[in-house]
Amino acid sequence: MKRRLLISGLVAFSPLGAQLAPVNEMGLSIGHLHVFPVDREKEAKAWLALGGQLENNLSNNIPIGFPGIIVLIGNPRPDAQGSDGTVIDHIAFKVPNLEACVNRWKGVQTWWKNGNWGLKVESGSKAGQAFVTTPSGIKIEVLEDKALKMPIVFDHVHYYMDEARLKAMEDYYVKMFGAKALKGETDTFSMPGWRLIFSKSASAPMPTTGRSLDHVGFNMLNAEVLGAFVKTLEERGAKFGRPYEPSSMGMIRLVTDFGTNIEITKAQGGYFDTKLLDKGYYLVDEGGKHEGETPTYKR
């Protein structure tokens, strides 16, 4: 099922060895970024130019994989705005040679259509740092790590919150998902495959819901552990925007008080390796519908 997928003449295939991180004691790791672009094709090509590769086609998204995360390019939202100034202001990757990457990204040209599908590149405020912006306005920090053995890996999600709610937001990720504070790094927490960095904003940031970077998702290994985890979340006071329901990729959606929703899915490692899918993928569709049935949840 692994494939080389063609998007309007651009073939992307590279031996990144990408996969999701092993789960923590609560059964969770980072899963995905869900992007709803202004222009789907241009956005997908920009993430490929960044260094991702096309993965197994399992859902109604263009799946672009990096070591540590899958980026799902969903249906277009022509009026979608970027990530700058929202709760998730930017996300970050690491590369072993920043100068070489920046030069490559700046050199991306289009020949087939007017308009830029590449990455807007800007210098950072310190050595070994740059920022790139995708066509849909998603801001990406790029950090240099000369010891890195892979061409690019996912590093962190950077949240911004007003001071009154900052501590409560950090506590939420600790309580619900088992995030662990990192010693010597203020307002920084670890999750398998990534870091969570929280910073104080001068005013309440804009919600992510409805923006081009709509939400970040966690992943669990299979439907059984996800179903069991729902009970834990209920006991801890989680609010559900989408209740648990078996479906092809299996998911729940949590509604928070911080302006960003959180998806928890199962078996998303299947985007990288179909052996990691569970049988539910083959039995029901994305909405939880068996053949001949009407799903109880409607998007």
Distances (CA, A) of 246 to 32, 125, 134, 180: 19, 46, 33, 29
In eight-state DSSP terms, residue 100 is H
pLDDT at 13: 33
Q: Which CATH class is domain 27-283?
A: alpha beta
Q: Is 224 helix (H, G, I), strand (E, B) or coil?
A: helix
Q: Which strands make up the sheet holding 188-191, listed edge to edge?
A: 120-123, 129-133, 139-144, 88-95, 153-162, 194-201, 188-191, 180-181
In eight-state DSSP terms, residue 193 is T
In eight-state DSSP terms, residue 97 is -
Length in residues, the chain: 299
Distance between CA 256 and CA 259 in Å, rounded? Answer: 7
pLDDT at 271: 95
Give the residues across from 61 on adjacent strands.
none
Q: Which strands make up the sheet holding 29-35, listed edge to edge?
A: 53-54, 62-66, 69-73, 29-35, 213-220, 262-266, 251-255, 239-245
Q: Is 60 helix (H, G, I), strand (E, B) or coil?
A: coil
pLDDT at 4: 34
Is 261 within 8 Å of 207 (Cβ atoms)? no
pLDDT at 249: 80
Q: What averages of pLDDT result for each successive group of 10 residues across the chain (299 residues)?
A: 34 56 94 95 92 94 96 94 96 97 80 62 94 94 97 97 97 97 96 95 94 95 92 95 83 94 94 90 75 57
Residue 67 CB coordination number (10 Å)? 22
Give the residues across from 92 on adjacent strands.
141, 156
Residue 132 CB coordination number (10 Å)? 23
Amino acid identity at 73: I
Taking alpha carbons only, the member of 287, 253, 290 closest to residue 59 is 287
**pTM, whole model, 2 decimals?**
0.88
The H or E element containing residue 101 is helix 98-106
Which class for 76: exposed (0-12), middle (13-18), buried (19 or more C-beta within 10 A)? Answer: middle
Phi/psi at 224 (nearest 5 deg)?
-65, -45
Phi/psi at 258 (nearest 5 deg)?
-115, 5
Distance between CA 61 and CA 59 in Å, rounded? Answer: 5
pLDDT at 296: 55
pLDDT at 247: 77
